[in-house]
Structure 1
Amino acid sequence: MRDEYADIIFLDGVIYTSNSAQEVVDSFAIKDDKIIFVGSFEESKSYTNLNTQKISLDGKMILPGLHDVHIHLPGIVKNDLCDLDAKRYSLDELVPILQQCIQRLDLPKGEWLAVTQWQYYVGNEPSEANPNLRAALDNVSQYHPIMLLGHDGHTSAVNSFAFSISQNSNGEVIGLNKQTLNREFSHLKN
């Protein structure tokens, strides 16, 4: 007879323990939101009573720790690349900042400039010299493909040079334009 019984036992799983003596088990038990047992289902039976709920994991894996299931590292890790810190910039302000990044990073011609934390939904005001974002990026450099990565991790923008070096599934440079978008890159439209 045991002093402590589990509220819930998870069984029939692949549970990674991080313990080199017993790396993988198939069951674990919880009491008052705390793990009280990790081991085999046979061993876990001694933690059950009539009130213990049993949940089958159906062979699914459990990893210990705290997990963020949707994270974008460029947004939380300070990098030594070109980081806009999610600040608002007009297109006229953006051009010299990106040119300074190319100089600071000493990028050889043809090398990508990847710019993180671009604030895409505010700022970016056009001007006569930079009537739209692509024109502004083209004014940064004609020798470097440039990609702005939005601060949300889901939005990006590139310059004309980046479009011109797009490759098909065979690795052939064909460029990205209206014709190739309808042929080789049609799967990207949906």
Structure 2
Amino acid sequence: MPLPSAAQSALVVAAVAIATATVLLPFPRTPPRDRFADMVLANGTIYTADPARPFADAMSVRGGRVLRVGTYESVKELKGPRTRELNLSGNVVLPGFIDSHVHFIDGGLQLARVPLRGVRSKDDLVARVKEAVRDKQPGQWILGGGWNDDFGGDGLPAAVWLDDISPDNPVWLSRMDGHMGVANSLAMKIAGIDKNTNDPIGGTIIRTTEGGNTTN
């Protein structure tokens, strides 16, 4: 027996409503088993390097790659039965540093020493060392670096540049690449280096003549 037209219309409306509801229902956010995180890091301060959100408190990792960074509530959705959870106890997590031959530690130490990067003349170098000597007690070392071979007609720096302004302080100033340096006479005396010292294996002591005397 055929349904009345009103009943048919009601069934069609119901079918459309069910189909629409099915389409609009949100997909479950639970990841497939092969997308669970290997590790979840929680309860930390995680630096993201994203200016819009520089810090987060949780992160998930899988196969050596970061899956998600954010709140613990958002990250824990990627936890599976084999996921290891690490409580950071408030410690900081930073992205891995890639050292492209920048001498990371030496570069950091150099920030606390006499800065000579960009020095273009003997007078400029001497002025910077002289300023550093004023803040030191006799016997304290003056360390610096960053100079390059661009002193024009002044040539390479030598001990005689430094002796008059630092007679009571040993001085060592390394070149930008760290493969050369200049020391004053007091520093060389402390190191046991004089005009009779042989060149080290693989290196050279550059000797200059000032006033008839040979200096290093």
**TM-score, normalization by structure 1:** 0.50
Identity over aligned residues, as a percent?
A: 18
Q: What SS is found at the alignment partner of 1:100? A: helix
Q: Does 1:34 align with 2:67?
A: yes
Does the CA-based 8 Å contact 1:135-1:159 persist in structure 2?
Answer: yes
Q: Does 1:123 align with 2:151?
A: yes
Query: Which residue of structure 2 aligns with residue 66 of structure 1?
Result: 95
The Cα shift of 1:141 comes to 1.9
Larger relative contact order (C-alpha < 8 A, sep ≥ 6)? 1
**Which segments of structure 1 move beyond 4 Å, counting only runs of 4 or more?**
5-11, 17-20, 30-33, 151-155, 177-182
Shift in CA distance, 97/124, structure 1 to aligned 2, threshold 3 Å = farther
1:83 to 108, 112, 115: 115
The Cα shift of 1:30 comes to 5.4
5+ residue gaps, structure 2? 1-28, 45-59, 69-74, 85-91, 204-216
Does the CA-based 8 Å contact 1:120-1:150 persist in structure 2?
Answer: yes
After superposition, the C-alpha distances for 1:78-129 in whole angstroms (9 at most, x for unaligned) are x4x5333x122312332233122212x1x2222111124x3223226427xx
5+ residue gaps, structure 1? 21-26, 46-62, 167-174
Query: Which residue of structure 2 aligns with residue 49 of structure 1?
Result: none
Does the CA-based 8 Å contact 2:119-2:125 persist in structure 1?
Answer: no
Query: Which residue of structure 1 aligns with residue 12 of structure 2?
Result: none
The Cα shift of 1:133 comes to 2.2
Letter in 2 for 1:92: D
| Cα distance in 2 for residues equivalent to 1:19 and 1:154 | 45
Query: Which residue of structure 1 aligns with residue 128 of structure 2?
Result: 97
Q: Does 1:111 align with 2:140?
A: yes
Q: What SS is found at the alignment partner of 2:82? A: helix
Query: Which residue of structure 2 aligns with residue 164 of structure 1?
Result: 189
Shift in CA distance, 165/176, structure 1 to aligned 2, threshold 3 Å = same
Letter in 1 for 2:154: P
Letter in 1 for 2:119: R
Does the CA-based 8 Å contact 2:174-2:182 persist in structure 1?
Answer: yes
Q: Does 1:4 align with 2:35?
A: no
- The aligned length equals 141
The Cα shift of 1:160 comes to 2.3
